Structure 1
Amino acid sequence: MRRPRARLIYNPSAGKEALRNHLPDVLDILEQGGLEVSCAMTHGANDAIVAARQASAEHFDYVIAAGGDGTINEVVNGLSTLDYRPTLGILPAGTTNDLGRALGIPRDLKKACEIIVQRHAREMDVGKIGDDGYFINIAGCGRLTELTYEVPSKLKTHLGQLAYYVKGLEKLPGLKSIHMEIDSPDFAYEGKAMLCLIANSNSVGGFEKLAPNAKLNDGLFDVILIKQVSLPELITLARMAMKGDHTNSDRVVYFQTESLTISSSDLVELNLDGEFGGHLPQTFRCLKHHLKVLVAPPEEGGRLLLP
């Protein structure tokens, strides 16, 4: 009987080089769990996209993305355009690991491997932007969202999550609101705003309650819009977001929709899963149940994705 084949696509520099140090153990657990595993190491931008497409072309059963949210984003972009899409496994080895948090996958790589070898798959939504871009966790626009891809990779390797706080403090004094026009079947807005987040999961930038009603397979985005606020008000909202109370503020708009268009008279950059994703205007669509992902069975503490 043929063993299921898995292609492990990994970023050796992710998360203080955690995977590089544990790769032999990871491969041993996966092989002992019944998988036939081969590896593809990334060296630069788009390598994981190419590797994911190659795994599909060779008809692998599983593609395992090992790295941070950027690596997972590339793998998702590689798979999402294809007719045959191998089931996705996640090894959270990055700095923030938003998707891993949302799925309840532990940061301990050995425990994450144990989830993969159980091969319990669930369907998951994917966000599509424009004609050929995809994101799995978050799309954002606004000055504050730019810091995630402005943090140098070497700084993230040495400081981890602290690197984002350092960069955030550096940007705070110069934060400005931007003009936004949002149009969707469920809500419309025109005016000044600090940022807009289009979330597919509840975990964004390490905040696990930023989109408290979000589900990964309900076919809907959760959209968070922060209107124009002062710096002290923004800091207060950040504190409230730690508890999920920010949605009660009159400076925050929170709604769900399956599609929306955002434009601006300003030059506004987009952040897709922590990486630079072009500029506004753009149209966003939620592709319901577009990928399958490996998660822990509910009876073993796995988080249910169903609404």
Structure 2
Amino acid sequence: MRALLVVNPAATTTSARTRDVLIHALASEMKLEAVSTEYRGHARDLGRRAAEADDIDLVVALGGDGTVNEVVNGLLHNGPDPEGLPRLAVVPGGSTNVFARALGLPNDAVEATGAILDALRERTERTVGLGLAAGTPGTDDEGVPERWFTFCAGLGFDAGVVGRVEQHRERGRRSTHALYVRQVMRQFLDDPHRRHGTITLERPGADPVEDLVLSIICNTSPWTYLGNRPVYASPKASFDTALDVLGLKKLSTPAVARYGTQLLTSSPERGPRGKHAVTLHDETDFTLHSKVPLPFQMDGDHLGLRTSVTFTGVRRALRVIV
């Protein structure tokens, strides 16, 4: 077996020594080429190279969710082809590692490497669904290129929080859960649209859902983690179905307290609910329109401002080693 290992040297929870140990462990079981990323988008370029090669069977992403997202977008540059594309394996190296943990992998890089090697020996894998987002034809965002996401996307409030965290990281701050909590509060205080939503969700054969302040699109569950605590925005979301949506129409102080508590106490059986909450399950095609440009994020990566995004849930898009 020939494999390409894509290494993010800036991964927050692995050291250079740990990465060397993992590389040697993987190289003992396969013909391995290890490449460290050098710029934003490099992991995507490496994934595309692997997809276009004739002799690469496996791509291993060692890094956080951003690295995984780039590799996936490279692999699926020409669209999904589960039987024709290299398989993907993920060694978690970020601060949250939602995709790897949702697959059931250990959150420790060394333990996850052992689990991947066991899975390769036992020939166990699964084919997962993914989400695809693109600019909507006929709008100002028409030319925005399509992009895949592995576990979540968001337009509005939560994407604004992600953008704030990225600004702090660019100034040298570590991405901690305490940092996220502080930015949630600051986004709440500064968001001019939290009482009167600007987002409309449209889907074929259904009435539009209007006046959303927040829209979270989930491809799996949980949505994220606070330390070791899973947070379920859409408990029914699954890699085996299309996309789930949680929308909120109001973020007043009482509403934030209520929905925040529901998220912190959420479970695989019960997520946020109430008269201002909209939940949709297993949606294949829908579009979010906003009256004003709003922050947009995919897999925890802030992508700027958008006014219209079209989403597609693609079942059985990629083979993953588990």
Verify same fold: TM over 0.5: yes
Moved >6 Å (runs of 4+): none
Residue of structure 2 in register with 1:115 after alignment: 115
The answer on 1:280 being equivalent to 2:307 is yes
Distance 1:56 1:159, change over 3 A: closer
Q: Unpaired segments of 5 or more residues in structure 1?
A: 296-307
> How big is each residue's C-alpha offset from its partner over 1:114-165, in whole Å with a ceiling of 9 and x where there is no partner?
1221222100011111263111111101133222243233678635333222
Residue of structure 2 in register with 1:138 after alignment: 152
1:56 to 51, 69, 72: 51
Partner of 1:163, secondary structure, is: helix
Q: TM-score, normalised by structure 2?
A: 0.83
Q: Unpaired segments of 5 or more residues in structure 2?
A: 135-144
Residue of structure 1 in register with 2:275 after alignment: 250
Residue of structure 2 in register with 1:231 after alignment: 253
Q: Which amino acid aligns with 1:78?
A: G
Residue of structure 2 in register with 1:124 after alignment: 128
The within-5 A match list for 1:147-226 is 147-151=161-165, 152-153=168-169, 158=174, 160-175=176-191, 176-177=193-194, 178-185=197-204, 187-206=206-225, 207-218=230-241, 220-226=242-248
Superposed CA RMSD in Å reads 2.1
Partner Cα separation in structure 1 for residue 97 and residue 296 of structure 2 = 19
Identity across matched positions, percent: 25
The answer on 1:79 being equivalent to 2:75 is yes
Higher helix share: 1
> How big is each residue's C-alpha offset from its partner over 1:11-56, in whole Å with a ceiling of 9 and x where there is no partner?
111224x153411211122123x22221121122111100111122
Q: TM-score, normalised by structure 1?
A: 0.87
Partner of 2:291, secondary structure, is: coil
Structure 1 position 73, deviation (Å): 0.9
Partner of 1:267, secondary structure, is: strand
Q: Which amino acid aligns with 1:196?
A: S
Partner of 1:225, secondary structure, is: strand
Residue of structure 2 in register with 1:31 after alignment: 27
Distance 1:159 1:31, change over 3 A: same
Question: CA contact under 8 A between 2:6 and 2:60: conserved in structure 1?
Answer: yes
Of the structure 1 ranges 85-94 and 276-285, higher mean CA displacement relative to structure 2 is found in 276-285
Distance 1:161 1:79, change over 3 A: same
Distance 1:68 1:223, change over 3 A: same
Partner Cα separation in structure 1 for residue 3 and residue 106 of structure 2 = 20
Distance 1:277 1:154, change over 3 A: closer
